[in-house]
Amino acid sequence: MHLEKNMDYKILWDNNIVLDLFLLRTKDNPYIKEIEKTFVENDIPIYLSSSQLHNIKFILSKQLKMNNISVSANDIISLFLKTHSIKLLKTPSYIDLEKWASSIDIEDELIKLSAETFNLYILTRDEKFLQKLGKKGIHPKELKEFIKNFAKRNIPMLDLTSETIYQYEKIEKSMDNVIKKSNFILGDEVKQLEDRIASYIGTKYAIGVSSGTDALVLSLRALAIQRKNQEYWDKDDLIITTPFTFTATGDAILRSGATPLFVDIDLDTYNINPELIEKAVQKYGKRVKGIVPVHLYGQSCNMDEIVRIAKENDLFIVEDCAQSFGAKWDGKQTGSFGDTGCFSFFPSKNLGGFGDGGMITTNDEELYEIILMLRKHGGKDKYNVDHIGYNARLDTIQAAVLLAKMDYIDEFTERRRKIAEIYNEGLKEADWIKLPKVLDKAYHVYHQYTIKIKGKDRNEIQQKLKEKGIQTMVYYPVPLHKMKVFQINGMEVFEDLKNSELASKNVLSLPIEPLYNRNFVEKIIEQCLGV
C-alpha cells in the first residue's frame, strides 16, 4: 500500500478558487495553475463544504452560458472529481438565523463555519473574507510559503481530527440514524456492531460494554460466577498477568476479588513469557485460576503455548486485546483464543470511538448470558436482578461511530504496517535502536511502533526529539508491581521482573498515525538518526 493521500494539509477552497480552476481565470487568479499542481502532485485533498456545491454549479453554468462555452457544468465537475482528491464536509446547522436577515455574506459565513468545525484553513482571494478569517485564511499567492512552513510543524503521535475527516461521511450518516431514532441506549446499532465484530473476530458472541476496562472486569466477574458460583473471586485466588501493561489490566483483577500474579515479559516482544507462566503455575498450583495475556503494542502473545498451559491446568484465559484489534496469531484473530477477549475503543485505539467504549468476545454461551446481565445492573429483569451488576452498556452513538469506522479498519491497519516497514528500513543501521521484533506466527497491527534505546538515556533521547518537534510516548514508565495500588491492595510476584523494569526504562514509541504520508515518516526517521 502506498501512503498516497497527504491528509496533513487541511485546506478548504473558497468558491472563487474552485471557479478560477473550472473557468481557468488566470487573469483574476494568476496562481491557479500552480495551486492545482501543488495539490495534485502532493496528493493533498481539496476540502469543500456541502453548502458550496449548489452555488459552484449554479455560477459555473451561468458563466459558461454567458461566454458561449459549449461545455456543460456537469462535464467539468465530473472531470474534476476524477482527477482530484475531494473531501466533502458538512455545513453546520447552528448558524445564527439573525445573520440570514442581515447584510452579512451568508455564503462566506457557512464556509467559515464548516472550516471551523474541523479547524481547517480557507484558501480564498476575497480580501474582505481574508480579513475576517485572520490566521485561518490563505491567499493564493501565499500558498507555497504556507505549505513550506506547515511542513515544519510539530509532529504529534496521532492526528485524530484527520482520521475523523477521512471517515466523516460514513460517521455522520451513521450518527444521524441514531439521532433520527433517538435510541440512545442499547439501540439497533449496538447489536449490529456486536454481530459485525463477532464475525470479524471469529466468535459466536460479542457484547458491547462501556470501556475496555469494564470488558476485563465483567469477564473476570462472569468467570467467578461460572466457575465458583459466587459473585467475586477470593483473595487467595491468583490470576496471572504481565506487569508491563496499562493499570487497568491488574486493576480489573483486584476489582474481581482476586490477586494479580505478575509474571515477567519476553524482552523481544514485550509480551508475557509463556515459559515463566508455566513455572508460576507449577509453583502456585491450584491457587492459580486463570491467565490474562496482554497483546501489547498490537502484537499477539504466543497463544499456542498459553492455550496449552491453560488447558493442561484447567485455567481460564481472558485476552486483553485493548491494543490488538485486527492482530492475529497463526491466522486467527486475537480475542478468539480465550474464554473471552476484551477490546477497548478508547479514541486513540486502532478502532476508536468518540469516547469510551469496549467489547467482549466469547464462544461460551453461559458466559455470554452472565455478561449480558452484569453489564445491565446484574439481571435480565432490571427490577429483579440476579447479580451485583454495573451500568456498563456501550452507548448507541458510540456504536454508530464504530460501525462506520469498521469500514476503514483494514485499510488503516495496512497503513500502520506500511509505516512500520518504512521505520524498519530507515532505522535499521542505528546500533542504539532495537527495532520491534515480530514473531513468525504473529500479524502485528502496530497500535504502537515501539523501539528500545540501547546504550543511551531514553529520557534524553525523548527530550531531544521533542525539541525537534517530534512527539513520542513511553508505554509504560512504571510497571504494575511498582505501583502503590498493587503494593497496598495485594499482588504476588513470580521471581524477579527485571525485563519489565528494564523495558520501562528504555522503550520509546514513535508516531504511527495511519494517515501520515511517507514524507512525514521519513522526517521522523531523519530526526531520530540525528539525535
Could you check whether 11-153 and 409-530 share the same CATH topology? no
- Whether residue 463 is predicted with pLDDT greater than 60 in this model: the reply is yes
- 476 cis-preceded (ω within 30 degrees of 0): yes
Least confident of 362-371, 449-458, 517-526: 517-526
Q: Average of pLDDT values for 264-287? A: 98
Tell me which residue has cell 454461551. Answer: 365
As a whole number of angstroms, the distance between CA 291 and CA 319 comes to 8
Could you tell me the CA-to-CA distances from 99 to 53, 54, 96, 102 in Å, in that order?
21, 20, 6, 5
Cell of 345: 475503543
Amino acid symbol at 270: Y
Amino acid symbol at 370: I
Q: Which of 120, 165, 128 is nearest to 146 (CA)?
A: 120
Q: If you count them, how many residues does the chain have?
A: 531
- Whether residue 69 is predicted with pLDDT greater than 80 in this model: the reply is yes
| Residue 216 vs residue 8, higher pLDDT | 216
pLDDT tens column, 388-403: 999 999 999 999 999 9
User: Quick one: 409-530 is in which CATH superfamily?
Assistant: Aspartate Aminotransferase, domain 1 (3.90.1150.10)
CA dihedral (161, 162, 165, 170) positive or negative: negative
Q: Which of 334, 355, 387, 351 is nearest to 210 (CA)?
A: 355
| Residue 96 vs residue 447, higher pLDDT | 447
pLDDT interval class at 4 (50, 70, 90): low
DSSP 8-state secondary structure symbol assigned to residue 376: B
As a whole number of angstroms, the distance between CA 517 and CA 388 comes to 49
Q: Average of pLDDT values for 105-126? A: 95
Q: Given this model, what pLDDT does residue 382 score? A: 85
By percentage, how much of the chain surpasses pLDDT 90? 91
Cell of 433: 535502536
Which residue ranges make up each domain of the chain? 11-153, 166-406, 409-530
Mean pLDDT for the chain overall = 96
Count of alpha carbons within 13 angstroms of residue 329, beta-carbon side: 19
Pick the CATH number of 166-406 from 3.40.640.10, 3.20.20.210, 3.10.180.10, 3.40.50.12160: 3.40.640.10
> How many Cβ atoms sit within 10 Å of the Cβ of residue 485?
13
| Residue 70 vs residue 364, higher pLDDT | 364
As a whole number of angstroms, the distance between CA 93 and CA 53 comes to 16
Q: Can you tell me whether residue 94 is helix, strand or coil?
A: coil
Least confident of 22-31, 144-153, 166-175: 144-153
pLDDT interval class at 406 (50, 70, 90): very high
Name residue 291's beta-bridge partners. 240, 317
Q: Which of 181, 178, 182, 180 is nearest to 193 (CA)?
A: 178
As a whole number of angstroms, the distance between CA 376 and CA 331 comes to 34
**How remote is the C-alpha of 389 from its chain's centroid?**
29
Q: Average of pLDDT values for 512-529? A: 93
Could you tell me the CA-to-CA distances from 304 to 309, 323, 334, 364, 474 in Å, in that order?
9, 20, 12, 20, 29
Q: Given this model, what pLDDT does residue 5 score? A: 60
Asked if residue 48 lies in contact with residue 86, where contact means CB atoms within 8 angstroms, the answer is yes
Amino acid symbol at 494: F
Q: Given this model, what pLDDT does residue 8 score? A: 75
Q: Given this model, what pLDDT does residue 43 score? A: 84
As a whole number of angstroms, the distance between CA 353 and CA 410 comes to 16
pLDDT interval class at 2 (50, 70, 90): low
- Whether residue 204 is predicted with pLDDT greater than 90 in this model: the reply is yes
Q: Given this model, what pLDDT does residue 96 score? A: 86
pLDDT interval class at 99 (50, 70, 90): confident
Q: Which of 147, 113, 140 is nearest to 13 (CA)?
A: 140
pLDDT tens column, 302-331: 999 999 999 999 999 999 999 999 999 999
pLDDT interval class at 458 (50, 70, 90): very high
- Whether residue 9 is predicted with pLDDT greater than 70 in this model: the reply is yes
Which helix (H) or strand (E) covers residue 341, if one does? strand 340-344
Cell of 439: 514473531
Q: Average of pLDDT values for 39-50? A: 91
Least confident of 125-134, 430-439, 512-521: 512-521
Asked if residue 341 lies in contact with residue 201, where contact means CB atoms within 8 angstroms, the answer is yes
| Residue 44 vs residue 343, higher pLDDT | 343
11-153: CATH number: 3.40.50.1010
DSSP assignments along 244-310, one per residue: SS-HHHHHHHHHTT-EEEE-PBPTTT-SB-HHHHHHHHHHHGGGEEEEE-B-GGG----HHHHHHHH
Residues 6+ apart with CB under 8 A from 178: 184, 187, 189, 396, 397, 400
pLDDT tens column, 479-514: 999 999 999 999 999 999 999 999 999 999 999 999
Q: Given this model, what pLDDT does residue 372 score? A: 98
CA dihedral (396, 397, 399, 404) positive or negative: positive
- Whether residue 3 is predicted with pLDDT greater than 70 in this model: the reply is no
Cell of 198: 463477532
Q: Average of pLDDT values for 136-144? A: 96
Q: Given this model, what pLDDT does residue 97 score? A: 87
Amino acid symbol at 60: L
Cell of 382: 432490571
- Whether residue 387 is predicted with pLDDT greater than 80 in this model: the reply is yes
DSSP 8-state secondary structure symbol assigned to residue 49: E
- Whether residue 151 is predicted with pLDDT greater than 90 in this model: the reply is no
10 Å CB burial of residue 393 (0-12, 13-18, 19+) is: buried
